[in-house]
Structure formats: structure tokens, C-alpha cells
Amino acid sequence: MTTTAVLITGTSSGIGRAAAEHLSRRADLTVYATARRTETISDLASAGARILPLDVTDEDSMLAAVKTVEKHHGHVGVLVNNAGYGEYGTIEETGLDGVRRQFETNVFGLARMTQLVLPAMRAAGSGRIVNVGSMGGRLVFPVGGYYHASKYAVEAITDALRFETAPFGIKVSLIEPGLIRTGFGEVAARTQASSSIPDGPYAALAAANEQQMRTSYDSALLSAPPQTVAKTIAHAVTARRPRTRYVVTPAAKALVHTRRLLGARTFDAYLKLQYRNAA
């Protein structure tokens, strides 16, 4: 049985942790779970994962992680680019330093990890790259414009990468989760609170958005546990012919389809109904 080395970024919580746990159960996979602070993922070793430090905003850290996997396996068999978070706030009020930090993780970290694993993948004539994007790369909600921009960037990078690497036997898939019950919502709410100006021009919109996020993430109909995404990632990792895109959760599929059908003006009208308390 051929063993495939799977390197997953951002496994300290949420989707990344669930994916590491799920994939570690397979005997044909060697899973490398990573995080900036390895003490946050030490328990994943008992699930069968190998533990590596990895900060996708640090060049030396990324190089070291990839070289470790290549030393033991020749090449990274599968790279799961999962690390990411949401920097929320209105376009006017959100500090660009925070936006830059988000893009370093969500976009440039993903791009650099991809660059680092590709030479050995090409030499081996095989490999897979699974990028964890978001339904937020297909549609936009207010107060999340900069986060959505990072996920739109992941969409573009993934589409170009899929075509460019196909001749070398490398398969590329994009995972587009909807609302997943992880710590993402809390981080988004915290960054929104830090960027919003109390009693400012967008105060009502920010309050309405916070209520929308809280209600949506608490809904069993609109959200799903991270294990749902982990199973989808596993399919992208192991299927003989993985899909190019996987939209995860029925609600996400409905929203993406609705946005495509409605067009911008009608979708804006829909959003006004959702945020009517912001008026």
C-alpha cells in the first residue's frame, strides 16, 4: 500500500483539526498536523497525526515544514491549505494593517505553501492541492468585504493553478464551506467590534450584522459542524477523480445558486431585507 503524506495547515481548531482527525484514521495516509504553537495540537498525535510547527506568515517556518515532509516521503503527496480567519468591519472603518495580516494568512500563505510543494510534486508526477476557500468567495455580505476579497483571491488562484499543474499529474480542488460551527464567528465578531466606531455612521449596520452572524451560526439549518467539511476534504484527497469545487452545506449551495440567478441589484434588495434593522 502506497503511503501518501498529507500536510494540513491550521489544525489547531475548527475545520483543520477535524480534517486532521478524520484523515488520520486512514492507514494509507500519513497526516502532518500543523499550527504556530504545537502545544495546541499535541493531542492530535494520539489520533495518529504527526505534529509540525508551521506559521504560514513566516518563510523559514514554511520552508522547514515542507522540507521535513519531503525528507521522509520524497514529496508532499497532498497539501491542504486550510489556515485562515475573518477580518470583519466596513470598508471605510477597517484598519488596513489588519487587512494585510488577513491576506498574509488567507492568500499569501496559501500561495507560498503551494509554491514550496510544487517542485517535488512535479518531479514525482503526482500530487494534490486542496484549498479551503468559502462560499464567501462566490458572494458577498456587508461588513465582511475584506474577508470576502481574500476568498475571491483563493478562487482565482485555485482556478489558475488547476490548469497550470494538470499536465504534471497534479489535481487541485477548492472547498467552499458555508457557515461552519467553529471559532470563526467569534473571531469575526471580535475583529468587527475592534474596527467599528461606536455611534459612527455604520453603527446600526454593524449591530445588525453581529445579530445576523449570531443567529445564523446558532441555526442547525443554516450551519454545520466542522466534521462535515472534513469528510468533504477527505473526498477531495482520496477520490480517483476529485471535483474541482465542493460547496459544503445545503444552505451554502442555495445561497450560491440564488446569488448567481438574482444578479447584483436583486441580491442587494435581498440583503436589505436581511439587514432592515440597520436602516
Catalytic residue list = 147
Bridge partners (DSSP) listed for residue 172: 129
Length of the chain: 279
Do 152 and 137 form a contact (C-beta atoms < 8 A)?
Answer: yes
Contact call for residues 50 and 3 (beta carbons, < 8 A): no
- Residue of 227, 255, 225, 110 lying closest to 172 (CA atoms): 110
Phi, psi at 127, each rounded to 5°: 155, 160
Cell readout for 115 is: 509554491
Phi, psi (5° rounding) for residue 98?
-65, -40
Q: How many CB atoms lie within 10 A of CB 146?
A: 23
Q: CA 31 → CA 24, 97, 153, 154, distances in Å?
A: 6, 34, 27, 23
- Please say whether the dihedral angle defined by the alpha carbons of residues 230, 31, 156 and 236, taken in this order, is positive or negative: negative
Inter-helix orientation angle 203-218/184-195, to 10°: 170
Q: What is the DSSP letter of 9?
A: S
